[in-house]
């Protein structure tokens, strides 16, 4: 019969694949004219022709009529195509409604790890889709928004979606690879692993500890700087007196020979302030 699941089909989530759609909606699909005329005797190849004719997404409208999108979804659940065929539907980038149909089927039938791995690459597709609500009104959405609804919401197109394990739990238990967001990379937001790796690199550059436990700092010190040199103190010697007097005669500086507090050999007070020629003190030659 046209409403039965294909022979040899496997149970999905412990039940008949068709039962993933509620009984009320499923009964309305069986009674619809589109199902009887266009979905009869379809297979995995000919269903593509009908998917290319889709013009909007949705569950039911006018409270009773199912959309063509929902009819084809039920047909895929009856046929239960192989995994490679569904992935080929997703690779057909020029047919956006076919990709949306395949994404919805993936969310209903695949296991949680494969759901994340298959649907997350569709976040880079920003093409617009039309959606028809229960009141018959149309609205605009995009493929990435539709995939985000499939991963975050419980009901999409009036269908109760199977329970989906949180991503962080799958990363810890099932080994799911962390998601690399292009937006986060553009804004400079790093994942936890990248942040820890960078902190470790910065710490190793600033502080290095050798095998004996000695602390070595790579920051430049004052003693190693070639630009800073400590000025050497000037000391008075006996031979420097004549040089000072000669310099005073040339530059007009006053040199005082008055004894200081100590002995004459220990040092003399030398004034370097300039003195006019006419005001020199007697005895200063």
Q: What is the pTM of this model?
A: 0.65
The DSSP symbol for 123 reads G
Give the per-residue pLDDT at 223.
46
Nearest alpha carbon to residue 275 among 251, 242, 246, 245: 251
Give the per-residue pLDDT at 160.
93
21/5 Cα distance (integer angstroms): 13
Give the per-residue pLDDT at 10.
86
Q: What is the pLDDT of residues 75-101, one digit of tens each?
A: 999 999 999 999 999 999 999 999 999
Give the per-residue pLDDT at 202.
55
Please classify residue 49 by burial: count the beta carbons closer than 10 Å to its beta carbon, then call 0-12 exposed, 13-18 middle and 19+ buried. Answer: exposed
Question: Which segments of the chain have a pLDDT < 70?
Answer: 1-2, 183-285
Give the per-residue pLDDT at 41.
87
Q: What is the pLDDT of residues 119-167, one digit of tens each?
A: 999 999 999 999 999 999 999 999 999 999 999 999 999 999 999 999 9
Give the per-residue pLDDT at 180.
77
For 210-244, b/e burial (b = at least 16 CB within 10 A) is eeeeeeeeeeeeeeeeeeeeeeeeeeeeeeeeeee
Give the per-residue pLDDT at 210.
46
């Amino acid at each position: 019969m046209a409403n039965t699941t294909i022979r040899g089909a496997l149970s999905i989530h412990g039940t008949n694949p068709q039962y993933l759609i509620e009984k009320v909606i499923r009964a309305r699909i069986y009674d619809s004219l589109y199902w009887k005329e266009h979905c009869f005797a379809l297979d995995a190849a000919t269903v593509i022709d009908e998917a290319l004719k889709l013009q909007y997404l949705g569950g039911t409208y006018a409270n009773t009529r199912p959309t063509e999108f929902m009819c084809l979804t039920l047909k895929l659940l009856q046929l239960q195509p192989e995994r490679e065929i569904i992935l080929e539907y997703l690779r057909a980038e020029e047919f956006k409604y076919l990709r949306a149909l395949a994404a919805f089927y993936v969310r209903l039938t695949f296991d949680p790890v494969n759901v994340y791995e298959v649907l997350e690459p569709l976040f880079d597709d920003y093409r617009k889709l039309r959606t028809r609500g229960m009141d018959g009104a149309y609205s605009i959405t995009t493929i990435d928004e539709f995939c985000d609804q499939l991963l975050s919401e419980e009901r999409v197109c009036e269908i109760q979606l199977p329970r989906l394990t949180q991503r962080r739990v799958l990363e810890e238990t099932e080994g799911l690879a962390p998601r690399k967001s292009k937006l986060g990379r553009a804004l400079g937001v790093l994942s936890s692993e990248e942040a820890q790796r960078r902190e470790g690199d910065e710490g190793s550059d600033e502080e290095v500890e050798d095998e004996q436990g000695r602390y070595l700092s790579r920051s430049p010190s004052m003693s190693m700087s070639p630009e800073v040199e400590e000025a050497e103190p000037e000391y008075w010697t006996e031979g420097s007196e004549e040089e000072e007097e000669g310099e005073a005669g040339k530059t007009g500086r006053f040199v005082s020979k008055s004894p200081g507090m100590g002995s004459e050999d220990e040092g003399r007070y030398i004034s370097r302030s300039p003195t006019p020629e006419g005001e020199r003190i007697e005895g200063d030659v």
